[in-house]
Structure 1
Amino acid sequence: MTVAWDDLVGSALLGTERRRPAGIVGDAAEAAEGLLDAAAEAVVRRRAGVLPAVAGPRPGQAADDPRPPLPEAAARRLRMMLTGSGRGRQGAAPNLTELLPQWLAVARQRGWAVPHALLPELLDAARSRTDLRADALAVAGPRALWLAALNPDWKFALRAGGGAVGAAAAAEDESARARLWEEGLFAERVALLTAVRREDPAAGLDMLASTWRTERAEDRLMFMDALRTGLSPADEPFLEEALADRSRNVRATAAELLSALPGSALAARMAARARSCVSLTAEGIAVEAPYECDAAMERDGVAPKPPSGRGERSWWLGQLVDAAPLSMWTERFGGRSPEEIVALPVLDDWQPDLHASWCRAAVRQRDAAWARALLGPPPDGSGPVTPVGDPAKLLSILPAQERAAWVARFVAAHGLSEAFQMLGACAVPWSPELGRAVIDALDIARDGGSYPWSFSGVMGLAERCLDPAAADQVALLSATTEESPGGSPGASAYWSEAFQRLTSTLRLRALMLQELSGAPTAPPEEIME
């Protein structure tokens, strides 16, 4: 007698004493044995009765990849990184995982194609680490998108890489562009808008305007943010209309973009408001912050409610000064330069608020002259460090060489305790001057008896950002020295290991760059010994 599969499963779950399938007789032991026999027979019957599935269409071929294949030594290195060799901290050995982003960036820059056999591991790595995705998908090429279409675990590649690749191609073809804009996924449309704006800002704006009123609020916000690419005065009419958008976030973003255009009508309105609040007297700069946030201010992007712990008037003043063109202050203060304006005394304790707003305005308007004035010369070490605003953001506006020189002098005067964010703003690899300053500061910290993990963040940056040519200089510091009087017990040995690891990492980075250049190299295992 055939027993239904559902009956067998129910009896197995409840027990034969509570529920016995029809046809199974005997005592408890015999019933349990009969249930197992019936289940075994049913399994065979079910398997034998399975009908072959209908064959689906064969997947299409991956697009051709014209890039040259990765050099053999570089391919071995990538395999080590992706399969776990050299992963994690082990004494003085480099951590390959931390170097993978840099490896991918250089491989992308040099136009190499990753071996097909490594694409699954590369996609898995990009799936778990979002910081790798842009470079990983660019290096992986079209075959990675083909694989992603066959594996749901890699569907992120279709949203990120697929959107970017499709957008780049569609941006060159007007009909493909229109089709992708009308029918594409949201990520593809954002990527398309960014690609078109990069090449033809006016065409990108026209494309966005054609569907703007039918877009969802959350989508409008992302599209609005994409207008940062290629932003120009030609975008002002569209952005002015967006100030009346239903979404508060869209309105705020539109106001921010308009304030980045010093010649915009919004910037002029903000300048007039800021001018009425800030004036020059014989004693210095006088500030009279707004007493209310009216409807016109709200329309221009001023948020009426301050964050916790911030006074309303200072909050409103800050937003007005943030959005006012910096050029207006030269006129307001009798033709003075940014350095002279920053040096003026500010009355009634308003200086922190006013200077912080000027810092934000300098970053928003990318004004290097004001950034220099607000940063001032690097502190010489004779007094406490009192940075204005966010020095790292101000530094990011300056040319790379000037930025590195400023931070190098800061580190030489004050050490590394307050320099981490500034170091992160410097171009990679660090300039020789900056590299020497960091190495000397680490050496001074070692001589002072501190533990190296007090500087673990800087050490991590140094491994990724120091010029590999500095390896020999660092190697001189790796010898164990005598313990400094009053220093932490065992610190010297820990420092020696830290400098050994930094030396090994720099030499490994040099070898990685050589491998990616295609030049002959020693087998990668030699550098790990």
Structure 2
Amino acid sequence: MPGTITSVSWEELVTTALLGTDRRPAGADGGPAGLLDAAALHTVRRRAGLLPASPAARPDPAPADPRPPLPPAARHRLAQLLADRSAPGGSGGRRGTAPDLTELIPQWLATANQQGFRAPAQLLPALLDAARARTDLRPHALAFAGPRGLWLAGLNPEWKFALRGSSGGSPLPRPTEPEAVVRLWEEGLFAERVALLGAIRAHDPAGALALLATTWTTERAEDRLMFLDSLRTGLSPVDEPFLEQALSDRSRNVRATAAELLSALPESALAGRMASRALSCVSPDLSGDEASVAVEAPHECDAPMERDGVVAVPPAGRGERSWWLGQLVEATPLTTWPARFGGRAAREIVALPVADGWAEELHAAWCRATVRQRDPEWARALLGAPSLPPSSGPGTSSLAERSKLLGVLPAAERGGWVADFIAAHGLSEAFQLLGVCPTPWAEPLGRAVVDALDIARDAGSYPWSFSGVMGLAERCLNPAEADRLEVLTTTPDEPEDASPGANGYWSEAFQRLVSTLRLRAAMDAELIPA
């Protein structure tokens, strides 16, 4: 039998298996058993005849990380946080009184990076796995992982996300090494080139622009867009000639980004052109006894307007003329309007009545211009007093737009405005506004949030309606507030009209808040260098 079996090639055996032994016999008995015997013998023979493969090259050693190691307690805490990140929550959506360790990872990483510690080598795999699962962790996690984390990511395809926008674990050349800079720019991977351009832009904006110009015309459209976006860092009038040329780019997205960047330069030629167009549309209304604003929206979107970034076709549900008007006003320097309205300040201009129902469109465009140009005076004017209801404020009633306006204000002023807003209106509309306040919350804001939660509990409100704010409080309240909040952990008698069991939920939530604040305090203490 062996001689008969070995006379059949492997290819013939495969053919027989596909067609069936009844149509194409193989082996001594010609049946399925003979086919299997032949396949087994061939397999043993092929394995025995294999030659050892050439060994792969060893990877380069991991780069050095000169940062100091974590204190032992902090290292143990990090291991605990990473091990708990995938732990299931409580049954039925009830979280219990224990802190949610998963939500504390970003804060722990931010503090560790501020202190300048390096990640323990044995925890790098778990750290990269956590960053792969949660995009919100990636900036802090990769900064903490450092060069060794990037080196390790290069050895595992599952961690390739870490190499996007990085140098792949290799140190970037310094601006004082022009030959190495040019070599990496011309020969490097896209992620390496993005990282290089960003690094140079942060220290030498003009040098980064000159480097980008050397290859601009040969870059792919999607790459040009990414490179152009890096010019936001250090944007200045020096960039104007380059951006003006980009207005004629083949890619619509590149043209739009160039126009946006130019409109953020109040002295640019594009800003002047947009201001001229906007002034022909928005003017003082001289027909009445009281000052007001007259609006005559554009009747067409011509080729020069499109070249300057105006999108001709509006989204579904938007009128063409209002769509064009908003884009013109959004790209107009805010310094244009006081002169147009007789020297009035921003607050006075925003308070003027607007004719023919154009107020919402005009104010929304001013809001976008304020965010783009980072103008605190206009932000204050459009936000108005925090005591005013959002629906009757001078600017926009959109909480999303208001949160963007708040982001223009200095950090301390931002928190104070939101504290006064909560004191006047409660927490039901404050969640988005709280998200832009600096952390840990300053005492006025923290007190306003806790007082509003206490009022909601006493009023018999549904506690789960405030779960988002409670989660923010766990992460953003000053840990020093824990002792003061202890009194809120008791379970008072429920009002007759309260939801059944609501006070038990409230007590549980406040217990979790206090325990989380104390845990955060312990974590911060563990990260203090010895």
Question: Normalized against structure 1, the TM-score is what?
Answer: 0.92
What corresponds to 2:177 in structure 1? 173
Q: 2:442 aligns with which of 428, 431, 438?
A: 431
What corresponds to 1:105 in structure 2? 110
Matched to 2:247, the amino acid is L
Separation in 1 of the partners of 2:149 and 2:12?
47
- Asked if residue 296 in structure 1 is aligned to residue 304 in structure 2, the reply is yes
Contact 1:81 1:87 in 2 (8 A): no
Shift in Å, 1:481: 1.8
Structure 1 unpaired stretches of 5+? 26-30, 520-529
Give the 5 Å matches for 1:242-281. Answer: 242-281=246-285
Q: Please list the CA deviations of residues 33-86 of structure 1 after superposition, one character each: whole Å capped at 9, or x if unmatched.
A: 444444444443333222211122222211111111111111111111222378
Give the 5 Å matches for 1:37-436. Answer: 37-84=37-84, 87-90=87-90, 91-162=96-167, 166-167=171-172, 169-281=173-285, 282=288, 283=290, 284-379=292-387, 388=396, 390-436=401-447
Q: Please list the CA deviations of residues 386-427 of structure 1 after superposition, one character each: whole Å capped at 9, or x if unmatched.
A: 861511000001111000000000011111111111100101
What corresponds to 1:522 in structure 2? none
Shift in Å, 1:238: 0.9
Q: Please list the CA deviations of residues 269-321 of structure 1 after superposition, one character each: whole Å capped at 9, or x if unmatched.
A: 11111111111124411111111111111111111111111111111111111
Shift in Å, 1:381: 6.4
Matched to 1:372, the amino acid is R
Separation in 2 of the partners of 1:314 and 1:208?
37
Q: Please list the CA deviations of residues 96-149 of structure 1 after superposition, one character each: whole Å capped at 9, or x if unmatched.
A: 111111211211121111111111111122222222222212211222222223
Shift in Å, 1:181: 0.8
Contact 1:164 1:192 in 2 (8 A): no
Shift in Å, 1:165: 6.0
Instruction: Rate the CA distance shift 1:408–1:204 in 2: closer, same or farther, 3 A.
Output: same
Matched to 2:337, the amino acid is W
What corresponds to 1:450 in structure 2? 461
Query: Matched residue pairs, number?
Result: 513
Question: Normalized against structure 2, the TM-score is what?
Answer: 0.92
RMSD, aligned α-carbons: 2.2
Contact 1:305 1:312 in 2 (8 A): yes
Separation in 2 of the partners of 1:163 and 1:340?
53
Deviates more, 1:130-139 or 1:221-230: 130-139
Contact 2:166 2:194 in 1 (8 A): no
Separation in 1 of the partners of 2:389 and 2:120?
52
Q: Please list the CA deviations of residues 140-194 of structure 1 after superposition, one character each: whole Å capped at 9, or x if unmatched.
A: 1222222223222222222344358644x44452222111111111122122111
Deviates more, 1:318-327 or 1:448-457: 448-457
Shift in Å, 1:349: 1.0
Contact 1:286 1:346 in 2 (8 A): yes
Instruction: Rate the CA distance shift 1:86–1:242 in 2: closer, same or farther, 3 A.
Output: closer
What corresponds to 1:526 in structure 2? none
User: What SS does structure 1 have at the residue aligned with 2:59?
Assistant: coil
Matched to 1:56, the amino acid is A
Contact 2:154 2:160 in 1 (8 A): yes
Separation in 2 of the partners of 1:122 and 1:247?
38
Matched to 1:335, the amino acid is G
Instruction: Rate the CA distance shift 1:484–1:172 in 2: closer, same or farther, 3 A.
Output: farther
Contact 2:71 2:529 in 1 (8 A): yes
User: What SS does structure 1 have at the residue aligned with 2:301?
Assistant: coil
Shift in Å, 1:434: 0.5
User: What SS does structure 2 have at the residue aligned with 1:227?
Assistant: helix
Contact 1:86 1:95 in 2 (8 A): no
User: What SS does structure 1 have at the residue aligned with 2:280?
Assistant: helix
Matched to 1:324, the amino acid is T
Instruction: Rate the CA distance shift 1:11–1:462 in 2: closer, same or farther, 3 A.
Output: farther
Contact 2:350 2:395 in 1 (8 A): no
Instruction: Rate the CA distance shift 1:36–1:302 in 2: closer, same or farther, 3 A.
Output: same
Contact 1:318 1:353 in 2 (8 A): yes
Contact 1:171 1:192 in 2 (8 A): no
Instruction: Rate the CA distance shift 1:217–1:475 in 2: closer, same or farther, 3 A.
Output: same
Instruction: Rate the CA distance shift 1:89–1:508 in 2: closer, same or farther, 3 A.
Output: farther
Q: 1:21 aligns with which of 3, 26, 29?
A: 26
Seq. identity, %: 65
Separation in 1 of the partners of 2:322 and 2:124?
54
Separation in 2 of the partners of 1:285 and 1:513?
54
